[in-house]
């Protein structure tokens, strides 16, 4: 099962069942990453990680510092889709899979907003 990005009538397959979404916090400029996996019924958050804390981005008490990131796992149910907004006031989302990262603008026009992440099909 592959993941897709959707915006309006546009639907783009990412060709992977697990991706990492990353972005920089607009105030702290700290890198935040989330690993998402396609599962029956939607997408599951596998891991969240952040390079530092501040401006409402403090990692939870069970987070572990490894390889420069605070890492933790949330016990959330499968989500039907994840909605991402693109304000233009900050750098675009980055989509990483199989060791390769690309800005979301490589998949969808920069004006595409909102964008959803969901299983294809």
- The predicted pLDDT at position 114 comes to 95
Range of the domain at 85: 3-119
Number of domains forming the structure of the chain: 1
For the entire predicted model, the pTM comes to 0.88
For residues 51 and 3, what is the distance between their CA atoms, to the nearest angstrom?
Answer: 26
Query: Are 17 and 10 in contact, with CB atoms under 8 Å apart?
Result: no
pLDDT per residue of the chain (121 residues) written in tens, 0 to 9: 899 999 999 999 999 999 999 988 666 668 889 999 999 999 999 999 988 766 666 787 888 999 988 898 988 899 999 999 987 777 789 999 988 999 999 999 988 999 999 999 7
């Amino acid at each position: 099962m592959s993941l897709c990005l959707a915006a309006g009538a546009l639907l783009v397959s990412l060709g992977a069942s697990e991706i990492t979404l990353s972005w920089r916090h607009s105030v702290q400029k700290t890198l935040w990453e989330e690993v998402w996996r396609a599962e029956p019924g939607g997408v599951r958050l596998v891991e969240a990680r952040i390079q530092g804390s501040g401006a409402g981005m403090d990692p939870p008490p069970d987070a572990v510092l490894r390889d420069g990131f605070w890492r933790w796992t949330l016990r959330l149910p499968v989500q039907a889709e994840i909605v991402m907004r693109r304000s233009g006031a900050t750098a675009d989302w980055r989509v990483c899979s199989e060791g390769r990262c690309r800005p979301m603008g490589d998949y969808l026009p920069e004006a595409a907003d909102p964008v959803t992440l969901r299983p294809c099909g």
